[in-house]
Structure 1
Amino acid sequence: MLRQISACRHPAILRASTRGFHAASSLLTHTVDALDTNGGPVREYKRMVQDGRLIDDAFQRSIVSKLDRLYQDLLVFTPPPLLFGTKDSERVTAPRGLYIYGDVGTGKTTTMDMFYTSIPTTSKRRVHFHSFMLEVHARINHFRRTHHAHEDPVPTIARELARASRVVCFDEFQVTDIADAMVLRRLLHEMFVCGVVMVTTSNRHPDALYANGIQRESFMPCIDELKLKCECVSLDSGTDYRKLVRESARVFFAPITQNTNDALMAVFSRASQNARVQVNGELRFLGRSLRVPRSARGVAWFEFSDLCTQAHGSADYIELARHFHTLVLSNVPVMHMDDRNAARRFITLIDALYEAHVVLVMSSEAEINALFTGEFGGKKGGCVGEEEVFAFQRAVSRLVEMQSRKWITSGRNDVLAEHAQRMDADTVDQVLATN
């Protein structure tokens, strides 16, 4: 089964009262102390700044204020019942959502998650957009196997999604595939008709979605509806907070040497608590299988070539991230234009691990900032498009965050988290080797 991040299965309806929407307070706040503290995202933002977990950022503050206004509107919004089909003529006026776009590491996901956790309802869902689209295509395929050929699956699936989640938060909204574009064009329309409120993060303004895509003119109505149903706001502070100086747990090792291999083995043994190692195991899911060279107690070890030079896709990586809390990835090379497919798979893997908060231990030919060379490093042109350059930059940003002590202590591996919390040495392997 596909992993559904924070998916809600209960079709409870968000209700508070039938009062009209109240006016929002001014968004032009000058410091975090000026923010209203009546609850919701602003209170959470202020608390995180005061606790030292966030740096007060005027750009983030503006977004949080807008999210707080939406939070307040939702408290007084009564969605329509969805017992039967909903027609355009029965459309309700739902609160306008938010489409947050901007560069990597500026806090888009962090601010959206503050909003998500603040909403006092079970009828909500927060999901990575790529995972959502995999699920949608799986639902469509199932519908076509179980219904008459002439029946349209999209309205039915949209109503099912709307019944389960009246507020949907998408992380990393992007459209690069014609199959996704053609489904989204109708799916989002039907979900909006059902009164679904959407908040999403993205790399790009809606006008730049599916740029230069096949039959893009057919996708334009979807862009127009996104802009109508969501306020589009930029979060481009110019600061990648993932790359700010932080305590590093040094779970990434470069260059590749015998000492590096010994360090990986030490981490693998300790993280798996010296459990018996299963060799060449197999993960089976969705009619597929994935060979796992070495695994023990929630820890898996792969070579880069095992995962990134073979024909694996995002569904494989999502299942891998669902099944293991720690991944050891060895012998990651510097990637050139000739390795474009392997580089794309590596980035897709990192996205899946990041979203599932998997602890990554890695050996590589070069340091993180030097893994992608030439055009991969940020120069557009040739065969590399703007979307790909952004994906490479995002991968580097996420890898920097994933080697931090904070990432490991909040991860799913309790053993590594415990040792990282009391770590004085520079590297995880040094600490583990002394135990």
Structure 2
Amino acid sequence: MPLTRKAYRAAILHSIADPAEVGIEASYEYFEDGLLVVENGQISAIGHATELLATLPADIEITHYQNALITPGLIDTHIHLPQTGMVGAYGEQLLDWLNTYTFPCESQFADKAHADEVADIFIKELLRNGTTTALVFGSVHPQSVNSFFEAAQQLDLRMIAGKVMMDRNAPDYLTDTAESSYVESKALIERWHGKGRLHYAVTPRFAPTSTPEQLTLAGQLLGEYPDLYMQTHISENLKEVEWVKELFPERKGYLDVYDHYQLLGERSVFAHGVHLCDDECARLAETGSAIAFCPTSNFFLGSGLFNLPMAEKHKLNVGLGTDVGGGTSFSLLQTLNEAYKVMQLQGARLSPFKSLYLATLGGARALRLEDKIGTLHAGTDADFLVLDYNATPLLSYRLKQANNIAETLFVLMTLGDDRTVLQTYAAGKLVHQR
């Protein structure tokens, strides 16, 4: 292959550590006039433009952005492909919402043409909002995952997804069996896991919709393929927590159900965790498991407030999730706007640099992909965004009043949305242009 080398000049910002561990100042790198050099889909250099320009060949193509900020691609650690068509469904909390809206919507994915259409819309929405990697729930139908991975592969995206495993407490038209879920998941793993930049996640929906037999087989799959992901839900809603106690009276709590079936581990991501206790946070951290913090959805479904300071105390990996369709926006900028409010309601602060961390490097660490995505370090995949300071009249006016990068970043996360994303790059290729 001929060497393709390009450079991008603008203000550049990326997270390099968790502010909770190293302090705010040591957690990021900012270049007011920066240069990002990309070769064959990977970042080969980052630094001050004045220093780097002298090291590059005279004929290199340089794209220069005015009034813009380059950041790493955003990482969504919890989102549902089949719920795209029911975003913003009115008036229910979690369990009624599933029965009233979610299950009927997911039933449509028995049709491959429908799955293809939604996968196309879904990926376009992710990229329009600057999300370059997502951990995605399919439906119970294998074709939901096939459609998603086919579309992601065409664009060489780094994506993780899995077929939902659900063999009880759901409509007959939407359940599999313990055995069929194992066989279908295994076939999808063999077809997709590790193909290009794609990864597979074993996906029991949540403890109430899986029998002990199904959870046993989910754990078995993880044992058979050591680098698989596992994704499910935990402690989102108080009624759900009570239901789990009724269904699994022999276990000491919700997390203990998953622990018993060997579903905790370094690539296990549990969505929500709103009602976790200290001991559960400690156990998640001890096993290297991660939480997907989904503030928009937690507000929309009235689930509660995630305790980020408690997670930090236990050094628990936390990523950010939009949780579409419980969440009402594909935008991680909008999700950070809600995350800030979650902290405010608990008398805590969320600094813009911690927000940046959650949406990029924190998500990469939750997914054990920090060597590939989440920063702009040389040697990582060239997944990055260009954010436009003049995206809307209000944003443009407000940012003229900003005195430093901290204020600029906070305004982008408060007033920003899909319009703010001028361009999205994945593996060095332009995959979205506003």
TM-score (structure 2 length as normaliser): 0.31
Structure (1 or 2) with the greater strand fraction: 2
Which protein has the larger Cα radius of gyration, Structure 1 or Structure 2? 1
Q: Using CA pairs below 8 Å that are at least 6 residues apart, which structure has the higher relative contact order?
A: 2
